[in-house]
Amino acid sequence: MKTTVATPQADQAPSTAKGFNVGSIFRQDLGQIPVAIALILMALYFNATTNDLFLSARNLSNLTLQSCVIATIGLGSIMVLLLGEIDLSLAVVANLCGAVTCIMSVFHHFPWWAAILAGLAAGFGIGLINGLIVAFLRVPSFIVTLAASLGYQGLLLHILLPNTTLIITDPNLKGIAANYLPDYLGLGLPILGIALYAGYIILTRVRRLRQGLAVPPLWQTGVNLGVTIALVALVLWQFESYFGVPIMTMLVLAMIALFWVLMRFTTFGQHVYAIGGNAEASRRAGINVNVIRVLIFGLASMLAAAGGIFLSSRSADADVAVSPTLLLQAIAAAVIGGVSLFGGRGSVWAVVMGTLVIEGLENGLNLKSSGDDTKFMVEGAVLILAVIVDALLRRRSTAAGR
Amino acid sequence: MEPILQLRGINKSFGAVQALRNVDLEVYGGEVVGLVGDNGAGKSTLIKIIAGVYAPDSGEYIVDNRRVNVTRPQDATHLGIETVYQDLALCDNLDVVSNLFLGREDTISGLPFMNSTEMERRTIDVLRQLDVKIRSVHVPVSALSGGQRQSIAVAKTILRNARIVILDEPTAALGVAQTRQVLQLIKRLRDQGLGMVVISHNLADVFEVVDRVIVMRLGRRVASFDIKSTTTEQIVAAITGAEFSNGIDGQGASVGSTASVNGDEGADDGNHPAYQHESGKGSIQ
Ligand SMILES: Nc1ncnc2c1ncn2[C@@H]1O[C@H](COP(=O)(O)OP(=O)(O)OP(=O)(O)O)[C@@H](O)[C@H]1O
Ligand SMILES: [Mg+2]
- Mean pLDDT computed over A199-209: 92
**Does one domain contain both A257 and A306?**
yes
**Cα distances (angstroms) measured from residue B57 to each of A242, B13, B35, B71, B185:** 77, 7, 21, 11, 35
**Does one domain contain both A229 and A357?**
no
Q: For residue A372, is it within any domain?
A: yes
Summarised one tens digit per residue, pLDDT across range A205-256 is 999 999 888 888 888 888 888 998 999 999 999 999 999 999 999 999 999 9
**pLDDT in the model for residue B261:** 41
**Does one domain contain both A217 and A315?**
no
**Does one domain contain both A112 and A234?**
no
Which residue in B has a C-alpha nearest to residue A213's C-alpha? Answer: B121
Mutate to test the pocket of ligand 1, among B44, B49, B168, B169 (most ligand atoms within 8 A of CB): B44
Of A230, A245, A260, the position where a domain reaches its end is: A245
Summarised one tens digit per residue, pLDDT across range A38-75 is 889 999 999 999 989 999 999 999 999 999 999 999 99
**Does one domain contain both A142 and A190?**
no
Query: Is this structure's pTM higher than 0.90?
Result: no
**pLDDT in the model for residue A286:** 85
**Does one domain contain both A240 and A257?**
no
Q: What is the mean pLDDT of chain B?
A: 82
- Mean pLDDT computed over A142-156: 96
Whether the CB-CB separation of B257 and B250 falls below 8 Å is answered with: yes
Domain count for chain A: 2
Structural domains in chain B plus CATH codes? 1-80+163-285 (3.40.50.300), 92-162 (no CATH)
Q: For residue A400, is it within any domain?
A: no
**Does one domain contain both A228 and A374?**
no
> A136 pLDDT band (50/70/90 cuts)?
very high
**Does one domain contain both A80 and A222?**
no
Rounded average pLDDT per 10-residue block, chain B, 285 residues: 90 92 93 93 92 91 92 89 89 94 89 91 90 88 89 89 92 85 90 93 89 92 89 88 52 36 38 35 33
Chain-chain contact of B123 with A14 (C-beta, under 8 angstroms):
yes
Q: For residue A15, is it within any domain?
A: no
**Does one domain contain both A174 and A58?**
yes
Q: Can you give the residue range of the structural domain that contains A214?
A: 180-245
**Does one domain contain both A219 and A293?**
no
**Does one domain contain both A225 and A260?**
no
**pLDDT in the model for residue A115:** 96
**Does one domain contain both A254 and A229?**
no
Residue from the list B93, B132, B211 with its beta carbon closest to the beta carbon of A344: B93
Q: What is the mean pLDDT of chain A?
A: 88
**pLDDT in the model for residue A399:** 56
Q: For residue A8, is it within any domain?
A: no
Residue A281: its chain B contacts at CB < 8 A?
87, 89-91, 102
Of A245, A266, A299, the position where a domain reaches its end is: A245
> A37 pLDDT band (50/70/90 cuts)?
confident
Which ligand approaches the C-alpha of residue B202 most closely? 1
Whether the CB-CB separation of B198 and B171 falls below 8 Å is answered with: no
Q: Which of B117, B157, B210 to mutate to test the interface with A (most CBs of A within 10 A)?
A: B117
